[in-house]
Amino acid sequence: MEKLEIVTYPDKFLSQPTQPLEDIDAQVQDMIERMSATMYEAPGVGLAAIQVGWNKSLLIYDVFRDEKRSLHVLINPKIISREGEVLSENEGCLSVPDFRADVKRASAVTVEGYNRKGKPIKLDAEDFLAIVLQHEIDHLNGTLFIDRISSLKRQMYKRSVKKKLRAK
């Protein structure tokens, strides 16, 4: 399966909110397969369609890091409730390479959306899964994890990216 190119910061495309998926057709199924190949090869635990240049409300995730792969698909997901607070330590992102930071997240979320067959699903998530879902749904809303850290840390990262781009 051909992997997709991951869009990286500072590409402005990442700051756009995605559009809802209307039809779950063969193109969507193909995109899910290509996104999964990309995510596993990267390696990552989640990937939003916007990160591979597709402006649709679709994300995939797999929190297992071994042979027990368990790919999950969420289409048009929405967080409908949040509880508690946790510090997501050393959070990273395939679209924000070479940078990690601590991010405040809800410790538990409830998410509604559709699976890859169009069946409505409701998911209660805690701990690491809750963090992954919040991170990926943020992408669908045009938010990067660096938008959730202190302005000082964010500016330091932005300066280093600009410096690298100028060097190229």
Give the residue numbers marked as catalytic: 136
> In what helix (H) or strand (E) does residue 163 lie, and over which residues does it extend?
helix 151-167
d(C-alpha 126, C-alpha 106), whole Å = 9
d(C-alpha 75, C-alpha 68), whole Å = 23
> Nearest CA to 92 among 137, 65, 131, 142?
131
Collapsing DSSP to helix, strand or coil, 156 comes out as helix
